[in-house]
Every structure is written in C-alpha cells, then in structure tokens.
Structure 1
Amino acid sequence: MRNVKLIIEYDGTKYNGWQRLGNTDNTIQAKLEGVLSKMTGENIEIIGSGRTDAGVHAYHQIANFKTHSMMSVYEMRDYCNQYLPQDIVVKEAVEVEERFHARYNATSKKYLYRIWTGRIPTVFHRKYTYYIPQRLNVEAMRKAASYLIGEHDFQAFSSVKSKKKSTVRKIYAIDIHKEDSELNILFHGNGFLHNMVRIIAGTLIEVGLGKMKAEEIPEILEGKIRAQAGITAPAQGLFLYEVHYGE
C-alpha cells in the first residue's frame, strides 16, 4: 500500500468548503476523491491537513491518500489536473512513508487574510479580498495583534460550540503588511479553531477603524465571550497559506 501526499491549490469561491458532505459533492474533498477514485479504480478517501469553510481559498493545502496503484506520482499529478475543475490544482504529488498523516502530523499552519483598501473597489480582487474603503490605522492593528501572540484561550475568538474541546492555541506571529491598496495579515500558529482567523481579522479591522481599542484585547481573551470580539470577516479574504510538518 502506497501513501501519497498532495499539495493542492484551490479557489474556494463556489464550493461548500473542504470537507465532504453527505448532501452534496460540491466540496474540494469530494471533487478530489472522485477523480482519484476514477484514476485508481479504488474507493479513495483523502485526509486533509484541516478544513476550510465555504468560500475560503488555499495556496498550499496538504492531503494524503492510500492506494495500490502503480502509477508514478507525476502521472497522478497530471491526471488530477486534467480531470479536476480548473479552480482546483494539484501542484505536487509525492510518495511518503506509510505513517504520514496530513492532519495529525501537522505542527503549525499559516493563514493569510487579504484586505483591499483602495477608495475604488477592484473587479479583479473582489473574490479574493475584503473591500474596506475607510482608512485603517495599521499601527493600532499591530498593537492589538501583539496582545494575541503566545498561548491563550481563544474561546472568544472562535465559533466553537462544544465545551469538551480545548480552545487553547498558540500564535507564533501575526504580521500586518500594507502595500499600495492591499493590506495583508499573515497568521502563524500551532492550530486554529473554527472561524478563529476570520474573527481575529474582523477584530483587528474594527480596531483599525477605531470601533475598538487595542487595549481591549486582553480583556476579551480573559472574558471568553464571543460577543465581545469583533465581526467574523468575510470568507473570500482568507487563504490557507502554508502547512508545516516537523520543527
């Protein structure tokens, strides 16, 4: 039995997220499994490094699957790209050790949130950025982000409903960079809760707009109440940027 790792890029605009759903095949996972199953003649199930929600994109999603197929990894990659929809691309296929697991072996992830800040919206970025025409105070956003670095209970910054799962995560860095009309927020952490990146992004945006103060962040963390944090920023601005394995 071979274990194959895929590096996948996708535009999530028209999909119901990554995870396969019982009532539709309009997910990234379902599209990939359909093509891989046809390619191998086997019932293929793929394991992703994590789920992305409806409308969220990925530059660098990682997945793996097991197969008896003797096709080369290059043939697998090219077959996928021939038969997948054009908004899903397998950038690389690599044979890995049998124990590799795309989700459980991941040690950290990076997510990118993109904001378009020009006075005039852009047609060509509308599916991949959140448009905010008002001026954002980037320094205030950076100050707010600094309070989130480190290990914290991020319950207030997630939509997790289960109280059985830990909401403690560690954020290594939040880098905010503005160039011309685009503002990028790059998050690096050991893991992220459901909607955590989008809620943090929304909170930083509200700080940037002057609707919240950076100094409120510690109190929000301590309070663990979702309503105290900012909005959930729209899905189209979010990209899974990188998945890291090992140190």
Structure 2
Amino acid sequence: MTLFRSLDDRHPLTGRLAMGVEYDGSAYCGWQRLKHAPSVQGALEGALAKVANQFITVHASGRTDSGVHATRQIIHFDAPVPRSQKAWVFGVNANLPRDVAVRWVASVPEGFHSRFKALARRYRYVILNQPSRPVLERANATWCRDPLDVEAMHRAAQALVGEHDFSSFRAAGCQSKTPWRHLHFIEVHRHGPLVVIDVQGNAFLHHMIRNIVGALVTVGRGERGDDYLATLMALKDRRQADVTAPACGLHFVDSLYDAAWGLPREPLGPNLLAFLGEWTGERPLPDCPMVAFRRGRPLAEGVSGEE
C-alpha cells in the first residue's frame, strides 16, 4: 500500500470532512481546548480559521492528556466554505506549528462522527530499555535503565483483557461516569532496546494506560509477580495501585471505524516502530455490544452499546 497520495486541487470539498492529524504533544496541555494553556485542538482550529476565513469547531475521536503524542487522531468538522483537498491540507499545515500536522482530508457522510462512530482506540507505549539515557528518542519514549522481563509483563497484562472495572487504573480526577471498559488486547514485545506495550479497547479512562504501564514496569523489574495486575484490578482502588508512567512514551496510534466510512488506511505509528509493518484496521474487532451498536446491528434486549 502506498504512502503517497496525490491531493486534488480542482474539486472543492464541502459538507462534513474528516481529517487525520499527527502531533507531538510535548508542548501542549493535551488535545482539548483550554483558555489558560496551549492545546492541540486550539492550534488546529486556529489554522482552519485562517483557511476558511471564519472559526471552525472540530470534534476528535478521543482526548489525549498533556504530553501525549498522536499519529492518527481522527477529527471531523462541517466545512463552512468550499476548499479543495489540497487547499485544506496544505493551507492548514502552513498555519500550524511544526509539532502538529494534517496527514489527509476526506469527505464523509453527514452521519459520521469522529467520536461516537469510533469502534475502538489503540495506543502504543514505547520504553527505551537501556543503561544510558536516550538522546534522539528522549521526547517520544520513556527511559528505563533496569532490565525488563518482557515475557513476565505480557503474562501479567493478559488479566486485563475483556470487560472489567478499571477503578485501580483510573486517575482521581477522571470524569467518566463509569470505570468499566472493554480491553480488546494488550501485548508487550521487545524489539532490541525498545519495549512496546500495544493496547486497544473501546475507550480508556483518564491516565488508564499510563497507570497500567507503571504497574507492568514493576512486574518487568521483578518486584512483583505475574498476578500483580489481576490483584490491583480486584482492589478497585487507585490509592493502592502503582505509579503513573510518564506521558512522553504514550502514542495514540489508531481510531478504528467501520470500513463503510471509507477513511484512508495508514501504517501505525510512531515512525520509530515503522519496521513492524502493521496498518490500521488489520486486526479483527471483538463481537461486543458497543461494536455491534455502532455498526448499526440490533442488540440483545437489555444490552447497551454506549461507552
């Protein structure tokens, strides 16, 4: 599959548009627009306003925390003026800071919603596991100088797969109405000095992945056994759980949608892991209520498909 797509500069796009956005979250308070601090949403809406000559509100597939990166954040907006595909992409990028970029734009039906039509979200947490501190990777990987037992980390993580109460991995300030989430898979692999924690679920609680990673590193150091994550989850108490891993190692790499929406497929990021060769949407999704609901299939009586 090619990485290079020609951008049309003849046919104006109007109506509802989706965009793929990549950003280095180091300098931002997170995705969501705030009055008192720089945000990725604020930077993107400012750039769109210059192309459209009026303010545009964008909606994202998921909010990322302060310092967290993204390689496939999906957003949508209703275009108030016609602009070509090339004008939307090049024009917005020309007005964005260097740490945010639009990768593509596509017309979508009016019923598309980047958040409420998402079937799953996927993150990768990258740890540079070596004795010396990182230099080139310092902004997009977390450094761990102690040798990690990746096999033990992977075994411990499997207790989290499925639908569970993740209260022990939920930040104190989390605003979600429920601590229940469905984890589709979580895998821990080593690639030379890189340890990658790859996790996908229907949605995630505030700091949930970073709290899971903090506990997995404790297992990897040999300080706790394979049952540590299961024990923490059973406690349902964040105060008795482990540390929160740094934000710099976390990357939002995919938001999955039904193929009928026709969104572009891309290699999963970050580019530091391009050698893995996996593209978005390759893995089958579980046949769970939320996926069925958002694909428009009927549910069993009494079953809810909302997050």
Aligned counterpart, 1:137 = 149
In the alignment, which residue of structure 1 is the partner of 2:9?
none
Q: Which amino acid aligns with 1:221?
A: M
Alpha-carbon contact 2:156-2:230 (below 8 Å) kept: no
Cα distance in 2, alignment partners of residues 164 and 100 from structure 1: 23
Partner Cα distance (1:217, 1:180) in 2 = 25
**What amino acid sits opposite 2:32 in the alignment?**
Q
Tell me which of the two structures has the higher relative contact order, counting C-alpha pairs closer than 8 angstroms and 6 or more residues apart: 1
Work out the CA distance in 2 between the residues paired with 1:162 and 1:240: 18
* Equivalent residue in structure 2 for 1:18, among 31, 54, 72: 31
Letter in 2 for 1:81: N
Q: Do structure 1's residue 186 and structure 2's residue 205 form an aligned pair?
A: no
Give per-residue Cα distances to partners, 1:35-65, cap 9 Å, x unaligned: 1112112221000111111110001101011
Shift of 1:166: 1.0
| Deviation at residue 224 of structure 1 after TM alignment | 0.4
Which residue of 64, 73, 84 maps to 1:61? 73
Q: Match for residue 32 of structure 1?
A: 44
Q: Percent of aligned positions with the same letter in both sequences?
A: 36
Equivalent in the alignment of 2:229? 217
Within-5 A mapping of 1:145-164: 145-161=157-173
Q: Deviations over 1:95-145 (max 9, x none)?
A: 111121111111101100000011112210111111001011111101111
Q: Which amino acid aligns with 1:107?
A: L
Q: Which amino acid aligns with 2:246?
A: P
Query: Which residue identity does 2:40 align to in structure 1?
Result: I
TM (norm. structure 2) is: 0.77
For structure 2, the 5+ residue unaligned runs are 1-13, 259-284, 286-307
Query: Corresponding residue for 2:291?
Result: none
Contact 2:216–2:229 (8 Å) recurs in 1: no
Q: Kindly report the root-mean-square deviation, in angstroms, between the aligned alpha carbons of the 2 structures.
A: 1.5
1:208 paired to 2:220? yes
CA contact (8 A) 2:50 2:95 kept: no
Name the structure 2 match of 1:240: 252
- The more displaced of 215-224 and 95-104 is 215-224
Query: What residue number does 1:166 align with?
Result: 178
How many pairs were matched up?
Answer: 246
1:165 Cα offset (Å): 0.8
Deviation at 1:219, TM superposition (A): 2.5
Moved more, 178-187 or 163-172: 163-172
Structure with greater proportional strand content: 1
